[in-house]
Structure 1
Amino acid sequence: MFASNIFGNEDELFAFLGDVEALLRRGQPDVAASILESQLGDLAEEGDELAKLCLKVPVSAIRLVGWEQLAEKLKKFDRPDKRITALSVDISAPFEMPLLEQKHGNFYEPDLDTVFYSDSAFPFSGAHREDLLDCYTPKGGPWSGGFEHVDATIAVRGMGGIYGEVLLAQRRCRPDDHNDPMEQDSAVLASAFVAVRLHQAIKSTAEGRGMPRPMMLMVGNNESFPYFDAAVLTRPEYEDLLDVEGEEDDCGAADEMFAPLQIAPIPDDYDPFASMPGEDQVSGAALRKKLREIAPEPEIANDVAPTGFGGFINKLLKRSA
């Protein structure tokens, strides 16, 4: 049974989720996150515990494990006629709710699939973001199911405190006779928040640590509500970010050196239950701009609400303005 204090009906709910996904696909995950945080903040003020948990997880609290293995994996899966040109990190819904340890309550990190694609599924190598926007359908991108390999190379740490609770909230809202509007709103917004936060964390890692080589980077889903899939960085965007054409920086080193940087391994004493660090962090791109000490070229802000969205999301944007 549909019940909500935020959305007038299910059509309005799914239109809202569609607009959040559209922000991700347009390359504005921070705007998507701010909209969700605003709504979760309202629920938190009303006493919703899941909303409160979500707001305690900044991007800087999330770590990706296995990023350092990508270079070797690409060498392994590359073929002379099918070079890996795209990578997608997908949230995979568990087949059944896992048994959670009593010690840590409902702590459960998301299961991730690492999906490797070649240009045989889609011309990723030369695709710009506009090319992707033009080809999406209600079922996702045309490359869906056309992967060369899928495994669990990448894992995530730092989301377990909310993800287990999100899974339980989804289960509670599933019965046809469930009619608690706050709980349904919380489950929907928290599910979307998990997907957007992971997208932000992967973007931050790619920008700060680099990828083994220029390629398309995406975040998707494997039957995981709300079924978002979107590009994090296209190959041209990554090339622009790192200036891989070989332009020298002020230190006299070619910028190509940034491409093979790898994420540091998780320290032995890492405790995912420790207090969350602050939100402040410096991306690789920002650090390099400081080193160059030149004014950055103007670019589209990622924290400014875009135009072209209709319906419920525009009401939210106007309300928060």
Structure 2
Amino acid sequence: MNHPAFVHIPDSRTEGVRSYCEPATPHPLQLTFLTEEGERQWVDRLRGHIVAARLDAADRMIAEALAPFEGRIAKLAKIASADDVALEGWEDLMPILAEHEGPAITAITVGLTNEPDLVFDGTDEHEPTLVIALYSDDSFAFSSASRDALLAECLSDNPAFAGEEEDVEFYSVLTGLAALNTALIQSKHRYYLRDGRDGVEGRAPGGYCEYVLGTWVRALRFLQALERAADAHGLPEGARLVAGTFGLHTDFASLMREGEAPLNAQPAADIAPVATLTMKKWEPKHDPLADLYSPGSSDSGSSLRKRVVVDEGEPVVAAPPAQAVTEIAEPSEATAEPKPGLIARLFRRLRRA
């Protein structure tokens, strides 16, 4: 149907949506997930590998649990190779930051999520969305915060650095997960209530187990792609790279990179010596007018201060030239001092002020 208002909703009999063919013998993960405690322990173990950035260990754990499943999500998860998932545009990060005139970037957060209401769009496949933000220590002490404190702040409901991103125009997209991501969006096996209405007995529903595994495969492939991009194109010196997911059933935060040279962890031996600050002894600024009043100067005051004849015809002799000002000091009481000239009086006034 081509009507623009038409919304396609997958039928419940579509494989991987509601319909699921249970195996004759339950798989090991179905027995592990039979109880809430068993599921929690398994997920916590996997999340521990992810948060600690032990991606190879997480990959092996997922692959072992996923191997016997053969449903729609399991098939898509198996063919979602790490080599086929990539972050496009990450190579632009360093050139963009080279022109950044703001404070030094000390943290980059990369979150994986989905746009809302995609479940109603069954006609297209959807890649997960990346949410990238760059921060400086002006908003939070990223450089000095411990690993646990930083991750706890990232997972809090209202992080201290929320809304304090640096004004840097940088975009990157994740590719290679559209098929798996769309299958997870459309799946109706998102919950296992354990109330007797799940349609199976003595095991966890296979569809639910596949959904959980699929969400962790999506998260793992994202982290592997981010790790490769950071290795290939680099990060700002001293910047910490934090990655995670939200709204995807696998919410977590992982410190992927500590930074090649953390700003507050530079060894003392590597710090360049600082030049000693020296100060020149203060001397009064040379007054060019003082030369005019110097007795030994060729341009003495006598050549400039000529006799002035007043209206009555009585000559007025100019005042004797003032001594050159060489330093600002109180004259000796025993020394007779001629009447100071204009420049000398100004210096004295400034000194007393």
TM-score (norm 2): 0.55
**Residues 68-87 of structure 1 correspond to what in structure 2 (within 5 A)?**
68-71=91-94, 73-74=96-97, 79-80=102-103, 83-87=104-108
Which of 48, 51, 54 lines up with 1:28 in the alignment?
A: 54
- 2:34 partner SS: coil
**CA offsets, 1:15-40, max 9 Å, x none?**
33232222122231111121011111
Q: Which has the higher contact order (CA 8 A, sep 6+)?
A: 1
AA in 2 matched with 1:92: T
1:41 aligns with 2:67: yes
Q: Do the aligned partners of 1:113 and 1:152 also contact (CA within 8 Å) in 2?
A: no
Give the CA RMSD over aligned residues: 3.4
Aligned mates of 1:138, 1:4 — CA distance in 2? 34
Over 3 Å counting, the alpha-carbon distance change for 1:209 and 1:75 in structure 2 is closer
Aligned mates of 2:262, 2:153 — CA distance in 1? 27
Counterpart in the other structure of 1:58: 81
Q: Do the aligned partners of 1:107 and 1:161 also contact (CA within 8 Å) in 2?
A: yes
AA in 1 matched with 2:133: V
Over 3 Å counting, the alpha-carbon distance change for 1:75 and 1:9 in structure 2 is farther
Counterpart in the other structure of 1:167: 185
Which of 133, 153, 177 lines up with 2:148 in the alignment?
A: 133
Counterpart in the other structure of 1:299: none
1:94 aligns with 2:109: no
Counterpart in the other structure of 1:208: 232
**CA offsets, 1:254-273, max 9 Å, x none?**
xxxxxxxxxxxxxxxxxxxx
**Residues 221-260 of structure 1 correspond to what in structure 2 (within 5 A)?**
221-236=245-260
1:191 aligns with 2:215: yes
- 1:84 partner SS: coil
Counterpart in the other structure of 1:117: 135
Q: Do the aligned partners of 2:91 and 2:229 also contact (CA within 8 Å) in 1?
A: no
Aligned mates of 1:139, 1:86 — CA distance in 2? 11
Counterpart in the other structure of 2:173: 155
Which of 43, 46, 53 lines up with 1:17 in the alignment?
A: 43
Q: CA deviation at 1:195?
A: 0.7
Aligned mates of 2:46, 2:153 — CA distance in 1? 14
Percent of residue pairs identical: 20
Aligned mates of 1:145, 1:11 — CA distance in 2? 34
TM-score (norm 1): 0.60
Aligned mates of 1:122, 1:138 — CA distance in 2? 10
- 1:229 partner SS: strand
Over 3 Å counting, the alpha-carbon distance change for 1:219 and 1:162 in structure 2 is same
Over 3 Å counting, the alpha-carbon distance change for 1:153 and 1:226 in structure 2 is same
Structure 1, unmatched stretches of 5+, are: 240-244, 247-321
Aligned mates of 2:257, 2:120 — CA distance in 1? 36
Q: CA deviation at 1:52?
A: 2.0
Aligned residues: 227
Aligned mates of 1:139, 1:210 — CA distance in 2? 22
Which of the pair has more CA radius of gyration?
Answer: 2
Q: CA deviation at 1:186?
A: 0.6
- 2:155 partner SS: coil
Q: Do the aligned partners of 1:117 and 1:146 also contact (CA within 8 Å) in 2?
A: no
